[in-house]
Amino acid sequence: MTRLQAAPPRIIRAPRRRPAPYDRATVLARWPECCYCSAPATELDHVHPLAHGGRDRESNVVGVCARDNHAKGAMSLAEWAVTANTDTK
Ligand SMILES: [Zn+2]
């Protein structure tokens, strides 16, 4: 390949995600209400966030409402508690 030829496109594969080792419906049946505010749970939250080394296992997952799940994001409970306290002031 000469310097004037374009480099072939690089193929970057996204890592394959394994299916969750738990059943979403089972978790929501166990947590029908948001464990943070008791509204109806519609989503699953990793209590110890995956971004901070939390495990993707049923013992780390709870049912939550969309509002709290999005507000908590990848924060730990301690970080989120501080944020929640400053939001109300
Ligand atoms: Zn909630």
CATH architecture of 24-87: Orthogonal Bundle (1.10)
pLDDT above 90: percentage of residues in the chain: 70
Predicted local confidence at residue 73, as pLDDT: 95
Å from CA of 71 to ligand 1 middle: 9
Å from CA of 81 to ligand 1 middle: 13
Per-residue pLDDT of the chain (89 residues; tens, 9 = 90+): 566 777 777 888 877 888 889 999 999 999 999 999 999 999 999 999 999 999 999 999 999 999 999 999 999 999 999 987 765 54
Rounded to whole angstroms, the Cα distance separating 64 from 71 reads: 11
Residue keyed to tokens 């390949």? 1
As beta bridge partners, residue 33 has 40
Q: What is the pLDDT of residues 7-30, one digit of tens each?
A: 777 888 877 888 889 999 999 999
Å from CA of 66 to ligand 1 middle: 7
The closest alpha carbon to 45, from 22, 63, 32, 59, belongs to: 63
Sketch the domain layout of the chain as residue ranges: 24-87
Give the predicted TM-score (pTM) of the model.
0.75
